[in-house]
Amino acid sequence: MIKRRYPADANRAVRTVTKSAALAAMITAAALMSGCGSSQAEQSTVAQEEVTVASEAAQAMSDLINGSESSLAGAKEGAEAAAESEMQKEAETEAAEAEQDAAAGDASEGAAEVYDISVPEDPETEEDVFKLMSGWNFEFASGAGGWQTSLEVSPDGSFSGMYHDSDMGDTGEGYEENGTRYHAEFTGRFSDAEKVGPRVFRVRVEDLKYETEPDTVEIADGTREVATDAYGLSGTDTVLVYLPGVEVASLPEKYMSWVGMTQFNHIINGEFIADVPKELTFCGIYNEKQDCGFVSCSREGRNRVYLTNRVAFPDLVSVEQELHEDGTYRYVDMDRNGMHVVTNLCFRAPEDTDMYEDLEGFIDVCLRELGETAADESLYYFGTDMIEYSAPMLLLNGIETAYAGWTSGSNEDTRYHAARMFRNDGYIYVYDLSSSENDTLMAGEAGMFFLTSLTLSGSTEHLSSAAADGVAEGTELHTLLADVIPGNDKGTIRADELVWVGWNDEELQKKYGIDPDDMTNDYAIAENDDVYETYELKDGCPVYVQYPEGNILRSLLDRDAFIDYISKTETGRMMQLYLDENDRVVYIYEPYTP
């Protein structure tokens, strides 16, 4: 059963509440609600309504996943009965807890200055731009050496910051011991924000003032103190502001060269590997005139970095969406028959949780937040010590992750899980895929590949892993193993259907005249007769390959790279194709062939 849980903190009020999509012929439609009041009473009301809807959806999902054989009418009747007998009590309890939490949150105000950024992700007004900027701590640094400029912005556009650098080798009389330190403490104001592109603004830099006038020099405590200007902000009248979610491809190369020094990269086997997301995951500032680029991280108390999948599995529909005031979230997607379920979860990290020092304990925290219990001795995992061997699974936009698998349930209710999880800026992210033992689509390699296309985002737009345009009624996917070559145009491929014969499949061995003693690695391929049929590729069809060229992280290929990949040999590449009811190809992966 999938259980809905809140993060264990005082920010439990929900801004975007549960949205439960209809599960065809199985789950009745759930209510759609959004918004919450600013008062404690209004927040409590929304929390109670959200609990009721989420509980009904959870009950229906539980029936579905755990093998309920009830009809649509039976499912609806059971849900209504459960709502009458138990949900009201549960809702009242949860609402009381929410009210207590809200009160606790009110009591804790003032402990840290955290701005509520209740503005559009792609704003139009100056006020909203500065509010968004106020949610981030900015930093300008190379990642090497000791220099850094830090900056904080307030919702009215005013800012304060400091710059520091040290040169221990620059010594002289009176400062032989500690050398020279360069520093600046400054304030100023951003103004006149002008939109120049989606999520991109040009703003003026005004009233730049210093605590100590630049070029002031004094020697104290064995250090020569040299006051300087605000490196990164000085020398220009305007800067560009890149808001989270802006397309990385649209940003200047010079700005991204600064970003590349500190973000989205990792060293594997002595090689610098860049893994850049499609969208910027933070708020950036670029001083074009001086070529200085700031990155940022979420201010304490609110998450603003989100985990998404670059692709959508073709038969998933959204069944649960929770986005909380503090930026934590829980999104659940599943197919209509409950064969596979994807849970995308972010919650506040307990202080004593460390993925590096106690990987097993870290994974246990993640399972508990998921509401999962691993069957005895079924849990297996690997972490950053395996990154040289499993980089596509363990590296995500430069962040090291953990991977775990386990089983839950028993007998006909057994489910197999595969998950990636990591910690970033005080928050833990978990992306879990579970499949029924009867699942013929998302199990095994298909699901493993789906976990390699995860990416970070500065936008909440794609927290659901279901297709944005939904799933057509009556969609039934089926698979085809085939050698694949390019079609007559980029919208098609040609496929020669194959049959995989396993070492213990005596019926197929007999049918195709295969001697099991002649098999290599316990399998053989039959029906490869070079008879090719043409298949249409659906727009956005994801393609995963085993052996990408040039970059070990790129198992997900775009269409041009895929056509090039299957053009390397006359017979193409062996691929597992997923086709819809119209025989259009909607999902492709390359099976492992030892």
Per-residue pLDDT, averaged over 463-476, amounts to: 83
Per-residue pLDDT, averaged over 224-230, amounts to: 91
| Confidence at 24, pLDDT banded by 50, 70, 90 | very low
Asked if residue 387 has pLDDT above 80, the reply is yes
Asked if residue 37 has pLDDT above 50, the reply is no
Task: Say which amino acid occupies 393.
Answer: M
CA atoms within 13 A of residue 495's CA, in its CB half-sphere? 23
- The reported pLDDT for the residue numbered 572 is 86
**Domain residue spans of the chain:** 14-105+303-457, 126-298, 478-589
CA 206/CA 186 separation, integer angstroms: 12
* CATH 3.40.1000.10 at 14-105+303-457, yes or no: yes
| Confidence at 211, pLDDT banded by 50, 70, 90 | very high
Q: Is 592 exposed, middle or buried (0-12, 13-18, 19+ CB in 10 A)?
A: exposed
CA 311/CA 462 separation, integer angstroms: 10
* DSSP state letter for 350: P
Asked if residue 25 has pLDDT above 60, the reply is no
| Confidence at 79, pLDDT banded by 50, 70, 90 | very low
Asked if residue 264 has pLDDT above 60, the reply is yes
Asked if residue 265 has pLDDT above 50, the reply is yes
Pairing relationship of beta strands 223-227 and 292-298 according to DSSP bridges: unpaired
Residues 6+ apart with CB under 8 A from 506: none
- The reported pLDDT for the residue numbered 19 is 31
- The reported pLDDT for the residue numbered 235 is 93
Report pLDDT digits (tens) over 169-184: 788 888 887 888 899 9
- The reported pLDDT for the residue numbered 465 is 95
| Confidence at 368, pLDDT banded by 50, 70, 90 | very high
Asked if residue 419 has pLDDT above 80, the reply is yes
- The reported pLDDT for the residue numbered 254 is 95
Give the sign of the dihedral formed by CA 229, CA 235, CA 237, CA 240. Answer: negative
Per-residue pLDDT, averaged over 275-300, amounts to: 93
pTM > 0.85? no
Least confident segment among 131-135, 204-208, 409-413: 409-413
- The reported pLDDT for the residue numbered 444 is 87
Asked if residue 72 has pLDDT above 70, the reply is no
CA 526/CA 508 separation, integer angstroms: 9
- The reported pLDDT for the residue numbered 535 is 97
- The reported pLDDT for the residue numbered 300 is 78
Using a pLDDT cut of 90, give the percent of the chain over it: 54
Asked if residue 478 has pLDDT above 50, the reply is yes
**CA distances to 13, 99, 101, 103, 467 from 41, in Å:** 11, 8, 12, 10, 36
Report pLDDT digits (tens) over 300-347: 788 999 999 999 888 999 999 999 989 999 999 999 889 999 999 999
Report pLDDT digits (tens) over 426-463: 899 999 999 999 998 988 899 999 999 999 998 898 99
Report pLDDT digits (tens) over 492-527: 999 999 999 999 999 999 999 999 888 888 899 998
* Neighbour order of strands in the sheet with 492-497: 533-536, 492-497, 478-486, 573-579, 585-589, 543-544, 556-557
Per-residue pLDDT, averaged over 50-77, amounts to: 36
Which residues lie across from 317 on neighbouring strands?
A: 334
| Confidence at 529, pLDDT banded by 50, 70, 90 | confident
Report pLDDT digits (tens) over 111-138: 334 445 567 888 899 999 999 999 899 9
| Confidence at 145, pLDDT banded by 50, 70, 90 | low
